Structure 1
């Protein structure tokens, strides 16, 4: 099986600070890759670099598209990159308000992405929006309500519907459960796990929460000071951590 995404020697500096230092990994179709580390470890910078939100200094990012073309994202023109983010990729923001248009209805948030990829039939767009509200366990009676009237957990589910309506192959998630109550987190995680499985999504998941990666991710990168200090199968890394920093992270979750 060919990798869906390959990151090779990715480096990003901010002055004297190396936020990402020669990061390398491959992501395969249907795989969830977790990236954990404390604040300042470089994990969010890495995700933004992959998404093209920040330029990288050196390295390569390659993606194999639906047509089996191998695309070099560093040299991809901006219009093509924007189209890729609307179709084959999605980005789940930590703050759902950053990933939604709060001034338009829930249905319009979902339908807008369909309009971006060429859908024009209002009835079909609304039907698709209703179907996705159901997929993310939101009442269809809320389709004409503004997202600003939703709870944080409901906004995050709406953001998922907005992204997944175009059936992307790769979803980037930045702390998707951050700031939510524990009970709301649990429901959202169950939904995300179900969607990943049924839609055969490939996911890169950035989080500081070991419980989240243990539940969702098959493979894991542990980052410290811009470097990957440990990598492997999630259960193996967390159950038998070798690097002192990984041991510290795991022990912190076990301390009452």
Structure 2
């Protein structure tokens, strides 16, 4: 039986009297996309940040199985080891690509920087890899020496993907990856994400308020309300036959023109 890539058990985080995450549990398997949906304030972004160990949690465990089959307890990792994990086996895609890119260096340098972080030093190899990943995310390699500030919002998001994927991570965390983009740009980005997930056998946790995003991308779904998972299961099953009143409300709102 396949072992989970990531195991989250009884994860809890409170801010004063507010429970951002309340005893969250789930397993994520290799090649699986997990969607987390809910309105603003439901706790979904807090859950993603807790998994990435961006801040201390109150209780629970987040266990990741590395390429070498070592089990790491993420919430107890020393900061240098956490940073290295985020540069190698994990990647984090920000909602605003400007938060995930260095805006004052070229597109190629944004991609090459992660290669430098993992020890690649040959300039020609770095350029070749940068060109390869620009093509993978549908950006003309002729734009390699251009600054990200000259790119559209959709291109910046695709460049952020190239920067994250160049070190071949196994797990990608995405926080509202299509937020703030026009509908046509969203559709193109979602098609690209589906292709990348399939071609590179990526495991993904994607947080979004957009039901359409998880229907297209996610195999499984968690629905969050006030820090709790109120419904979970296969994406189509949850969206086509929602059981919890809150899930029914989300789905109904998404269908309303």
1:181 paired residue number: 182
Paired residue total = 256
Take 1:138 and 1:82, find their aligned partners in 2: how far apart are those partners?
A: 28
Matched, 1:3 2:13: no
Take 2:32 and 2:139, find their aligned partners in 1: how far apart are those partners?
A: 26
Take 2:254 and 2:205, find their aligned partners in 1: how far apart are those partners?
A: 22
The Cα of 1:159 is off from its aligned counterpart by 0.1
Runs of 4+ off more than 3 Å: none
Q: Is the 8 A contact 2:64 2:72 kept in 1?
A: yes
2:128 paired residue number: 127
Take 1:210 and 1:55, find their aligned partners in 2: how far apart are those partners?
A: 29
**1:74 match: secondary structure:** helix
Take 1:11 and 1:26, find their aligned partners in 2: how far apart are those partners?
A: 16
The Cα of 1:35 is off from its aligned counterpart by 0.1
Take 2:182 and 2:238, find their aligned partners in 1: how far apart are those partners?
A: 27
Structure 1 length as normaliser, TM-score? 0.99
1:47-196 equivalences in 2 (<5 Å): 47-196=48-197
The Cα of 1:153 is off from its aligned counterpart by 0.0
Deviations 1:68-117 (A, max 9, x none): 01111122111111100000000000000000000000000000000000
Take 1:41 and 1:66, find their aligned partners in 2: how far apart are those partners?
A: 33
Take 1:192 and 1:150, find their aligned partners in 2: how far apart are those partners?
A: 19
The Cα of 1:185 is off from its aligned counterpart by 0.3
1:236 paired residue number: 237
1:252 paired residue number: 253
The Cα of 1:165 is off from its aligned counterpart by 0.2
Take 1:12 and 1:253, find their aligned partners in 2: how far apart are those partners?
A: 29
The Cα of 1:176 is off from its aligned counterpart by 0.2
Take 1:75 and 1:112, find their aligned partners in 2: how far apart are those partners?
A: 27
The Cα of 1:30 is off from its aligned counterpart by 0.2
2:27 paired residue number: 26
1:204-243 equivalences in 2 (<5 Å): 204-243=205-244
* Unaligned residue ranges in structure 2 (runs of 5+): none
**1:126 match: secondary structure:** helix
The Cα of 1:254 is off from its aligned counterpart by 1.2
Take 2:33 and 2:178, find their aligned partners in 1: how far apart are those partners?
A: 16
Deviations 1:21-74 (A, max 9, x none): 000000000000000000000000000010111210000000000000111112
Backbone CA RMSD of aligned residues: 0.4
Q: Is the 8 A contact 2:52 2:74 kept in 1?
A: no
Take 1:252 and 1:216, find their aligned partners in 2: how far apart are those partners?
A: 19
The Cα of 1:240 is off from its aligned counterpart by 0.1
